[in-house]
Structure 1
Amino acid sequence: MKIGFIGLGVMGRHMARHLAAAGHDVTVYNRTEERARQWVEANGGQLAPTPAALAEGQDIVMACVGNDDDVLAVTTGPQGAFAAMTKDAIFVDHTTASANVARRLHDTATGLGLDFIDAPVSGGEAGAEKGVLTVMCGGDEAAFERAKPAIDAFARSCRLMGPSGAGQLTKMANQICIAGLVQALSEGIHFSQTAGLDVEAMLDVVSQGAAGSWQMENRGRTMNRGEFGFGFAVELMRKDLGICLAEAKRSGASLPVTALVDQFYSDVEKAGGSRWDTSSLITRLAPDGTGAKG
């Protein structure tokens, strides 16, 4: 397919690379043009100066940018992609954004004769690099079926969760679950440290039982060593949790633990950890120990 990809950050650069490796004709755009130029030098394809220029003649345009405002800018803003897309082309948004903006853009796209799918991802940079992301989609089934073969280039799992906005709602549920898991893991490791347990041994044993999780397997040991210079940044998690809490207020859902963990992450930010991995939540519990390395 002819695919345009907008946003070559931590996740997007790997996702676009997998598309090119799968044989798709990929054109890229990035707000910082030098990053796009370097990507083309490494992976081939073409560079576009604006989202609109990128969108011309593409079967699919994908985006992985920062937030609602960024998505609106690259779709319906000046030089946005929507105005230049061919009728029946599909815009797939991999940004973690609000369900409201997904629904709004779906309606706008439909009015222009386009298709829109909200398709946030989970799996972090490691999942993007390896091409094993989980992709949660919202939109029309026919458009999803047309876009799925391209998404499969960087996905281990890709599923249509419902109408427009359902992908973003599913990603919210994902982030809510992660927030609680990381806090519980932080407390379990902190407890083991203060009790004098061999934390590495504890993690080996507990990970084989009902308490085992991706977070324990992939972050437990680095949390114990106070290593947080990698992975999904605290400031990004706070952005995501803000979306979750706003949606919960709108729908009437009760998220007491999520709200509390969001405040805990605020404490980590105030301590200088906005770019630390989300596992740095443990630093609140052991400010004189594991939090020192950052």
Structure 2
Amino acid sequence: MTAQTPSINTRPYPSSSSAKVAFIGLGVMGYPMAGHLAAAGHEVVVYNRTRAKAQQWVEEFAAVQAKVAFADTPEAAAKDADIVFGCVGNDDDLRAVTIGAGGAFAGMKRGAIYVDHTTASADVARELYAAAKAQGLQFIDAPVSGGQAGAQNGQLTVMCGGDQEVFDHVAPVAQAFSRAFTLLGGSGAGQLAKMVNQIAIAGVVQGLSEAVAFAMQAGLDVPAVIDVISKGAAQSWQMENRAKTMAQGQFEFGFAVDWMRKDLGLVLEEGRRNGAHLPVTALVDQFYSDVQAMGGQRWDTSSLIARLVKPAAK
């Protein structure tokens, strides 16, 4: 089978010595992230629960890096790796690929680093940090923001928790898929920062949904209004990238409602634990529940507007 053109937009990478790495989980984020590591010259072994996806990745990225391979278990993928990156679904998935049967921790050499890009709980991050330390390994929690486009373009924002010395070792390698890779505190701080990110996004998207719906009901030219107000105090990434498509009923831009509800569930649970008051976040979570009931489980998060107004014809 002829190798396909890589499904990433490659760019110049910062100079760093080649590392031997593994990547666990080749979903919409992990697939291009692993590809950027290969394009940056690192030796990459991948694992995915669906074996065919891992085979596909190797066939595709062999065109940019000869030293790519796939393994049949996380343990086998992690063998001899300096750094193991992972991006899976939730806390249980994360435990399964790290400390479960055939998990990565069993295959990692002493001193190797597991960098977790899953959006998960701060508790599981701390749990796996302690488990890694007990085995002579290192662990960084490093959830990402930027969506599918950010992963494909190598422009993710990565929020990290862990030890400074370990972070310093990982950062030059992770720059392959990052525009910002920042240590925010000890273990769990990355996951907590991602919760802050999701709180902010939830409120902005709801406000934007109401604004666009109001403009539509008022009979205004929505693109013209957005062009004007996006040059003032109302401007946001969501407005620049989603307002016009929201009015057109286009909800196919990667980060699904199901995933957002999973993230907001983590936020609300943490808020109950630490005493933070999150009334708007709780309300928006229920609005996303309404979208799910409408059949929008896989629509992207801008689909909140579908609760408010019938979108214009495409």
Query: What's the TM-score, normalizing by structure 2?
Result: 0.92
**C-alpha deviations, 1:240-275, integer Å up to 9, x for none?**
000000000110100000000000000000000000
Whether 1:195 aligns to 2:213 is: no
The answer as to whether partners of 1:11 and 1:128 remain within 8 angstroms in 2 is: yes
Per the alignment, residue 299 of structure 2 pairs with 276
Aligned to 1:3: 21
Q: State how far apart, in whole Å, the 2-side matches of 1:191 and 1:197 are.
A: 9
Q: Give every structure 1 segment of 4 or more consecutive aligned residues whose post-TM-superposition deviation is greater than 2 Å.
A: none
CA contact (8 A) 1:283 1:291 kept: no
1:254 maps to 277
Moved more, 193-202 or 238-247: 193-202
What is the rounded CA distance, in whole Å, between the counterparts of 1:3 and 1:292 in structure 2? Answer: 47
**Alpha-carbon distance in structure 2 between the residues aligned to 1:124 and 1:291:** 25
**2:63 is the counterpart of 1:47:** no
Listed one character per residue, the Cα deviations across residues 97-148 of structure 1 (whole Å, up to 9, x for unaligned) are 0000000000010111111000000000000000000000000000000000
Q: Does 1:186 align with 2:209?
A: yes
Q: Match for residue 213 of structure 1? A: 236
For residue 136 of structure 2, what is the aligned residue in structure 1? 113
Is 1:265 paired with 2:297?
no
Gaps of 5+ in 2: 1-18, 63-67
Match of 1:13 among 13, 31, 48: 31
Q: For this pair of structures, how many residues does the alignment match?
A: 291
Instruction: Give TM-score, length-normalised by structure 1.
Output: 0.98
Instruction: State how far apart, in whole Å, the 1-side matches of 2:93 and 2:312 are.
Output: 33
CA RMSD of aligned residues (A): 0.9
Counterpart pick for 1:62 among 45, 68, 85: 85
TM superposition shift of 1:196 = 1.5
2:46 maps to: 28
Q: Secondary structure at the match of 2:202?
A: helix
What is the deviation of 1:291? 8.2
Identity of aligned residues (%): 64
Q: Please list every run of 5 or more consecutive structure 1 residues that lacks an aligned counterpart in the other structure.
A: none
Aligned-residue offset at 1:230: 2.4
**Matched residue, 2:311:** 290
